[in-house]
A and B are shown apart, each in its own frame.
Chain A
């Protein structure tokens, strides 16, 4: 009795509480189909219309585009990585780089597959490099950031093609050079804003340089695009 007295002392105030009979204190183990099913609906996306699914992903991609345009470190962007945006940007860039000066027997611009190889293998190599140097960012997060930060360069490519329609003299070249340089700087700045924090301070430059080289090469491809006459 002494033991139960000591045990019940913390619950002393409850001694006068009585449980009414109509509260169910017993149940069964079967899956509830009543009101608690509502909580499941928030996670189960199997029953929603396809339009809803597509729109949700598009909204996520669009939100990340906005993050790239106004780069500031945001944990949400890194946590919810996705590779739709990079794929979309890579395909757009590769398509816009087509139709260049490609004589059949002379060397021309990068082929569609070459753009893909450079973007994806470049991103993978930079990610491996940053992980080998001891970075704390995960593999796919880094691919996601690098891919999304191609957005300014893709926009520059679209602008360059429009400018090239107007003419391809020195003035148009100067305009294209300015646009490509600005977007290259923007891309590098945006991606280092996300990536550099994950490295120890004495290796930041070692991680930033390959990113710089990557966007420089893409910028070069954009700038040297020359249309076939």
Chain B
């Protein structure tokens, strides 16, 4: 027999945590689960080395472990520069991985646990939001130009004021919705002892990265085809919504069913509102006429009457 052997049953979640903790401490140990007919020590040792749980991930064990192992994070006051430097502790490949993870949701894989790993950054969300603001303004401008190309009364304007409107909309979504969600989850945590809790920065980070899919979507909206716009919006909503959904599902699944439905549906609905709202406001439908065109069209039809 090699090392020590830990025999566990799958009776309750807490026992599994204990097994995970013990296994982390002694990696040579073999876990034999009573319910398994076949003992597969190699596979389980490997699985346990990566995470204490399988698909049904319970992150509390890994939370404890990382807090103990990584030592204490220095707590600096929030008005110093060093406080914010903590949130920019990422490298280029981290940001790339997080962006790719935000467009490819995997059932069971939680964005916060897979990619953030307790190191939320503000770089990604901020620059993704800024890029999205300018992408919306520029694409909307180009789309309007292409839609009205060839019409005699169309006068091209850069419509620069739309940048401020886009910025207000995107940044409010990216900051106030996470704030509300965080507050709500905190309140529910007090009522129902939840095993999973996210910090505000992690929630804001997920929301920021989940907006990335809209950047190529918005660029595709330059082409003035309604069916293309609706197809891309559905795809983007699906991807973005599933990333958010798989992230927040572990945080609410132990709750009252009505609360679960309320939270998940509000996450999806707010996302959809943002997408459809931007599409409607910044990208006019091909049949829409500008106010100037409408009046000139009526002038043209009036003229024959006078002669």
> In whole angstroms, what is the CA distance A108 to B157 when docked?
5
Does A134 lie at the interface of the complex (its beta carbon under 8 Å from any beta carbon of B)?
A: yes
Does A204 lie at the interface of the complex (its beta carbon under 8 Å from any beta carbon of B)?
A: yes
Does B254 lie at the interface of the complex (its beta carbon under 8 Å from any beta carbon of A)?
A: no
Within 8 A of A (CB), among B110-160: 123, 127, 130-131, 134, 138, 141, 155-160
Within 8 A of B (CB), among A205-228: 205-206, 209-210, 213, 216-217, 220-221, 224-226
Binds A, one of B2-10, B47-55, B83-91: B83-91
Query: Known contacts being A132-B84, A221-B160, A226-B157, is A206 close to B141, with CB within 8 Å?
Result: no
- Do the beta carbons of A217 and B92 come within 8 Å of each other? no
Does B302 lie at the interface of the complex (its beta carbon under 8 Å from any beta carbon of A)?
A: no
B306: chain A residues within 8 A (beta carbon):
none
Contact of B92 (CB < 8 Å), options: A132, A203, A224, A225: A203
Within 8 A of B (CB), among A104-134: 106-111, 114, 129, 131-134
- Do the beta carbons of A224 and B130 come within 8 Å of each other? no
Q: From B138, which residue of chain A is reached at the shortest CB distance? A: A220
> In whole angstroms, what is the CA distance A11 to B76 when docked?
58
> In whole angstroms, what is the CA distance A125 to B161 when docked?
20
A-B contact count (CB 8 A): 73
Q: From A204, which residue of chain B is reached at the shortest CB distance? A: B92
- Do the beta carbons of A206 and B92 come within 8 Å of each other? yes
> In whole angstroms, what is the CA distance A224 to B138 when docked?
10
Does A36 lie at the interface of the complex (its beta carbon under 8 Å from any beta carbon of B)?
A: no
- Do the beta carbons of B123 and A202 come within 8 Å of each other? no
Number of interface residues of B (CB under 8 A): 26
Contact of B158 (CB < 8 Å), options: A213, A216, A221: A221
B127: chain A residues within 8 A (beta carbon):
129, 209-210, 213
Within 8 A of B (CB), among A129-157: 129, 131-134
- Do the beta carbons of A108 and B92 come within 8 Å of each other? no
- Do the beta carbons of A225 and B85 come within 8 Å of each other? no
- Do the beta carbons of A217 and B134 come within 8 Å of each other? yes
Query: Known contacts being A101-B155, A213-B131, A220-B138, is A202 close to B91, with CB within 8 Å?
Result: yes
Interface string of B263-295 (1 = CB under 8 A from A): 000000000000000000000000000001000
Within 8 A of B (CB), among A58-91: none
- Do the beta carbons of B155 and A134 come within 8 Å of each other? no
Q: From B126, which residue of chain A is reached at the shortest CB distance? A: A129
B155: chain A residues within 8 A (beta carbon):
101, 103, 229
Does A185 lie at the interface of the complex (its beta carbon under 8 Å from any beta carbon of B)?
A: no
- Do the beta carbons of B123 and A108 come within 8 Å of each other? no
Q: From A220, which residue of chain B is reached at the shortest CB distance? A: B138
14 contacts between A and B (CB under 8 A): A103-B157, A106-B157, A107-B157, A107-B158, A108-B157, A109-B157, A110-B160, A129-B88, A133-B123, A202-B92, A206-B123, A210-B130, A217-B134, A220-B138
Which residues of B line the A interface, CB within 8 A?
81, 84-85, 87-88, 90-93, 95, 123, 127, 130-131, 134, 138, 141, 155-162, 292
Which residues of A line the B interface, CB within 8 A?
100-101, 103, 106-111, 114, 129, 131-134, 202-206, 209-210, 213, 216-217, 220-221, 224-226, 229
Besides A109-B160, A209-B127, A226-B156, 14 new A-B residue pairs in contact (Cβ under 8 A), listed by A number: A101-B157, A107-B158, A107-B162, A110-B158, A110-B160, A129-B123, A129-B127, A134-B88, A202-B91, A202-B93, A210-B130, A213-B130, A221-B160, A224-B156
